[in-house]
Amino acid sequence: MITVTYLDHSGFAVTTPEAVMVFDYYKDPNRKLEKVLKDNPSKKVVFFVSHHHPDHFNTSIFELAQDRNPTYVLANDIFSRLVPKKGISVAWMSAGDVIEQIPGTKQVKAYGSTDEGVSFAVTLPDGEVIFHAGDLNDWHWSEESTVREIERAEAKFKTIVNRIAEDISEVKIAMFPVDARMGADFAKGAEIFLEKVKVDNFFPMHFWGEPQKACDFASYVPEGLPTKCYCLDKPGFSVEIK
Q: Where are the beta strands (DSSP E) in the chain?
A: 2-8, 11-15, 19-23, 44-49, 71-75, 89-93, 98-99, 107-111, 119-123, 129-132, 171-177, 199-205, 228-229, 238-241
Exposed, middle or buried, 176 (CB in 10 Å: 0-12/13-18/19+)? Answer: buried
- Which residues on adjacent β-strands are paired with residue 205? 177
CA distance 157 to 176: 13
Q: How many CB atoms lie within 10 A of CB 123?
A: 19
Answer whether 212's CB lies under 8 Å from 168's CB. no
Cα–Cα distance measured from residue 32 to residue 24, given in angstroms and rounded to the nearest whole number: 14
Q: In what order do the strands lie in the sheet with 199-205?
A: 98-99, 107-111, 119-123, 129-132, 171-177, 199-205, 228-229
Long-range contacts of 37-41 (CB under 8 A, 24+ apart): 37/65, 37/68, 40/15
> What is the pLDDT at residue 232?
97
> What pLDDT was estimated at residue 69?
95
Inter-residue contact 43 to 31 (CB < 8 Å): no
pLDDT score, position 210: 85
Q: What was the pLDDT predicted at 183?
A: 85
Sign of CA dihedral 221, 97, 49, 121: positive
**Residues in the chain where the model's pLDDT stays below 70:** 142-143
Report pLDDT for 185: 86
Give me the pLDDT at residue 85, please.
87
Of 15, 5, 6, 61, nearest to 41 by C-alpha is 15
